[in-house]
Amino acid sequence: MRARLVRTSLPLGSRRAFTAPALAALVLTTAACGPDPDSGALKPRGSGGQATAPAQAPTASAPAMTPQQVDQLVLKRYREYLRVYKQAFASNDPSRLADVASDPLLSTVSKEVESTKARGEVWRFTLLPNPKVYGRSQDGLTVYVIDCLRTLSASRFSVATGRRLGREPASTYAHRSAVRFEAGVWKVSDTERERAC
């Protein structure tokens, strides 16, 4: 079954992929949307018109919660993803990402962390998130989050010397993320950077 947007409050706009902190935006990463509609990929397409929210909480294997409780939990898990993401690039250790992210995003971010490690660098950055739930799939197992994410500072350092190698300017971009309920846990499965906000 394809994920379908059930409720939206914001226009979708353009779709530009995230880049890793090692590149320009330094905030979130994206993975290519696979052909499998249940892969957790970000696919809330549509006209952006208003649709109605589901009358009950997600079914199937999702927890029995109201939509508002699910939204609160999803936003908490999204913020946890950002914390672990930041920590992974600061320590060059992607091992904790599996607790908060799933494929296709997990593989992409893990490879980027390993690539940064291979160059002998670490990234340190400060993020100021402002996430909001804007939709969910028809089955309720994927919740879509939009975040006007502000990067206050982003610097690249040498692991060997501790010396700063570069700094990126502060930026603020809208980011859309899919948070999917898998194996009893909500995990960020895909994310895209969009327009400046």
pLDDT in the model for residue 65:
86
Per-residue pLDDT reduced to its tens digit, 117-146: 999 999 999 999 999 999 999 999 999 999
Q: Give yes or no for residue 39 having a pLDDT over 80.
A: no
In the chain, domain spans: 67-196
Q: Give yes or no for residue 11 having a pLDDT over 50.
A: no
What SS3 class is residue 125?
A: strand
The pTM (predicted TM-score) of the whole model is 0.70
Asked if residue 181 lies in contact with residue 19, where contact means CB atoms within 8 angstroms, the answer is: no
Q: Give yes or no for residue 4 having a pLDDT over 70.
A: no
The helix-helix angle for 105-118 and 67-91 (nearest 10°) equals 20
Pick one of 3.40.50.140, 3.10.450.240, 3.90.1150.10, 3.40.109.10 as the CATH number of 67-196: 3.10.450.240
CA 60 to chain centre: 24
Asked if residue 79 lies in contact with residue 129, where contact means CB atoms within 8 angstroms, the answer is: yes
Query: Structure tokens of 51?
Result: 């649709």
pLDDT in the model for residue 62:
56
Within 10 angstroms of residue 126's Cβ, the number of other Cβ atoms is 12
pLDDT in the model for residue 61:
53
Per-residue pLDDT reduced to its tens digit, 75-100: 999 999 999 999 999 999 999 999 99
Per-residue pLDDT reduced to its tens digit, 145-164: 999 999 998 989 999 999 99
19 — pLDDT class (breaks 50, 70, 90)? very low
Q: Give yes or no for residue 13 having a pLDDT over 70.
A: no
